Amino acid sequence: MKNPPFACKPEEALKNFQTSREGLTSKEAKERLAKYGRNALKKKKAVSPFIIFLSQFNSILVWILMAAVFISLMLGERIDAAVIAIILVFNAVFGFIQEYKAERAIEELKKLTALQAKVIRDRKIINVSAEELVIGDIIILLEGDKVPADARLIELTALETMEASLTGESQPIEKTLNALSEKIVLADRKNMVYSSTIITKGRAKAVVVATGMKTEIGKIAGMLEDIDEEPTPLQNKLQRLGKILAIGTTAAAAIVFILGLMRGGDIIEMLLTSVALAVAAVPEGLPAVVTVSLALAVQRMVKKNSLIRKLPSVETLGSTTVICSDKTGTLTMNKMTVQKYYASGKERQLDGKDRQKGDEKLFEIGVLCNNTELDGDKAFGDPTEEALLLSGKMFGLGKEELERQCPRFHEIPFSSESKYMATFHNVKGKHFAYVKGAPDIILRKCTKIFYKGRVMKLTEPEKRKITGSIDELSASALRVLGFAYKECEGKKYKDVTDLIFVGLQGMRDPPRPGVREAIARCKKAGIKVIMITGDHKRTAEAIGREIGIAGKAVTGEELEQIKDLSRQVEDIFIYARVDPSHKLKIIDALKAKGHIVAMTGDGINDAPALKKADIGIAMGITGTDVSKEASDMVLADDHFASIVNAVEEGRGVFNNIRKFVGLLL
């Protein structure tokens, strides 16, 4: 058996897929297209509106009421029959309207492949529809491109990709060409690029290794097709009530009929009496009360930023015992933000309260040594560089104005080998190099330090102090960058040694405001909150401590080794570096322990779990169309606290329905 492409060297991968760096010929591409099919996701057979409407009548309680309509007509009770029939039609129409758009996740996934791709065919670079890509094609990827198929990288220059929607990883992934272990999880396959992810920096060539339903995104589509809708707790309770009513009314009618005959009653008269009793015992108002209660709750929840897509989901929320929450974009902002910085020998929060003279030099370098552009609230480029632009803004440093004052004339791009980026600027007739990169690499290149506005010699004790700060910031799950500069002599633009160290900036994807309080409310209400993320274990644990999720943490790799997760699932609170299939395993284990599971998420990778959970909760602002279509509920404000409000509303609805059933019976 051949090794998977990420476990091969580039040349071995090319050989395995019977191609070369010059790409396929048009003839070979045509033959492979016929063999493997188009690079498109399989269309799910649409459920007709008529079938959706008929499904509204699929419950024992409704069957009993339909029988009551028939019997009432036989007994000449036309008004009773009409009232019950109107109630049944009202329920069916209301349910149909709510559920008509519930099965479109595959359609949204299909749209993801509707793009163009740059490919080498007949030794020429041409543009083709992404659907025409075949295994073995050599594709060219540039900054800003959406990856059209799963591919193994064979050449790259400073390549980074954003894979949050697929893996849950909140930071750009720096890519490499090295072969990796066969057991490595999806989020760590740094020599691969995946369909629907975005190139945020650099350029590359890659060999297509999977298309259509064989891609990672295609596997998610397959998972969605394989997941069957399960009845909600309310539907299960109403089904049980329907069975009890069916048995009870039939038994009561039979007893009345037999006792009547034993007392000498007329057989026809007793038959009509017992049937009338059975019809009277059926609570025909129950479906209407349930529907109206749920509908009113839906309206109230809309005002609290929770959009319910299916009526029974309201009550399911009230029954929830576990919330499995995606970290990126749900518990956190899904936006890299500078949290702390180190300058002039001191570590500070980025709030401007403890500024020292010369601190602005650190942020000036971050703004100038930067290729990302800001247009209002939108950024075009790397999320890490966006964070640097925003931190510069806090010091009143705008990129446009700075570049006018200090025009750039040369650049050394970041690479995985050098671990730094340098830009060269003309500042009032003098030439300066501004450098940012891995903090340990930057520190090794420095001989001086910028301290409170003055340049001084960088001593060994000062180096140890900086190294300690790097370790401390990294331990807080911050991504740390080092910053330095120097004045250049003449045209020595490749010389980035003998630098002046300025400082460090530590950034991360911060928690959403109010999340900690919302999690505390969940605990008080007896609801367990579990964090699930594609991020690293240490990052997840640090965020967990900050927002109040403390407990055992496991990685996707460790999860693979657990044969029966249901035995350990009660003790685990954080899952890191997980794949979409792992999320399904977690939900299955929780359900096996009797939990009613709510799952939140916003990415494509969350869609199967959203559909599998008792209630799937998608993000309305940052959520992908796929996650919304797979969900039962959408948060209009993306705020975790809105879930807690919705749960409280759901519990109130269930209590009201239970009280009404008790009164009716």
Q: d(Cα 649, Cα 300) in Å, to the nearest integer?
A: 8
Paired with 530 in beta bridges are 324
Beta bridge partners of 450: 455
Q: CA 206 to CA 175: how far, in whole Å?
A: 12
- C-alpha 449/C-alpha 453 separation (Å) is 10
Q: What is the DSSP letter of 163?
A: -
Distance of CA 489 to the CA centre of its chain: 49
Q: Nearest-CA neighbor of 62 among 286, 376, 231, 379? A: 286
- Which stretches of 320-398 are DSSP H helices? 360-368, 383-394
Measured at the alpha carbon of residue 188, what is the angle toward residues 387 and 223, in degrees to the nearest 5? 105
Contact 506, 480 (CB under 8 A): yes
Q: For residue 8, give the 3-state DSSP assignment.
A: coil
Alpha helices in 360-459 (DSSP H): 360-368, 383-394, 399-405, 439-444
Type of residue found at 89: V
Helix, strand, or coil here: 569?
Answer: helix
Q: Which two tokens stand for residue 205?
A: 């060539």
Alpha-carbon distance values, 589 to 291, 527, 561, 582, 661 (Å): 32, 16, 14, 11, 33
Reduce the DSSP state of residue 104 to 3 states and report it: coil
420-427 and 430-437 as β-strands: parallel, antiparallel, unpaired? Answer: antiparallel
Spell out the residues 6+ positions from residue 468 whose beta carbon is closer than 8 angstroms to its own.
none
Closest by Cα among 63, 115, 108, 71 to 88: 63
Contact (CB, 8 A) for 462 and 449: yes
Rounded-to-10 torsion of CA 171, 176, 181, 183: 30
Task: Assess whether 326 carries a catalytic annotation.
Answer: yes
Q: Token pair of 269, please? A: 């008269």
184 and 174 in contact (C-beta within 8 Å)?
no
What is the full DSSP assignment across 284-340?
A: THHHHHHHHHHHHHHHHHHHTTEEESSTTHHHHHHH--EEEEEIIIIIB-SS-EEEE
Residues with Cβ within 8 Å of 48's Cβ and at least 6 positions away in sequence, in order, are none
Contacts 24+ apart (CB under 8 A), 457-464: 458/501, 462/345
Catalytic residue among 80, 137, 188, 326: 326
Q: CB count, 10 Å around CB of 111?
A: 11
β-pair type (446-451, 499-508): parallel
CA gap 256, 605 in Å, rounded: 59
Active site residues per annotation = 326
